[in-house]
Amino acid sequence: MVDISPATLTKLNKNLHVTMEMLEKICRALNCTFDDVVEMLPEGSESAE
């Protein structure tokens, strides 16, 4: 659905930074908003996986 490079998929999988452009493409393809795909945590904290 979205032209995502293997490097970007790796970044997403490891919770690393990706561009807003890529997040926009994902949201448009899934018909959702940033809130559905992004979680903002306080600086220095880590997401429970």
- For residue 27, is it within any domain? yes
Residue 7's pLDDT is 94
Return the pLDDT at 47.
58
Radius of gyration, alpha carbons of the chain: 11
| Residue 14 tokens, joined | 């490891």
What's the CA gap between 49 and 33, in Å, rounded?
A: 22
Enumerate residues 6+ apart whose C-beta is below 8 A from 35: none
> Do the domain assignments include residue 26?
yes
How many distinct structural domains can be found in the chain? 1
- pLDDT score for 6: 92
> What's the confidence (pLDDT) of residue 10?
95
Supply the DSSP string of 12-36, one letter for each residue. Answer: HHTT----HHHHHHHHHHHT--HHH
CA atoms within 13 A on the CB side of 43: 0
Q: What pLDDT score was predicted for residue 37?
A: 87
Interval 4-43: pLDDT, tens = 899 999 998 998 999 999 999 999 999 999 999 888 888 8
| Residue 22 resides in a domain | yes
In a domain, 44, yes or no: no
Indicate whether 1 belongs to any domain: no
What residue numbers bound the domain in which 23 lies?
A: 6-37
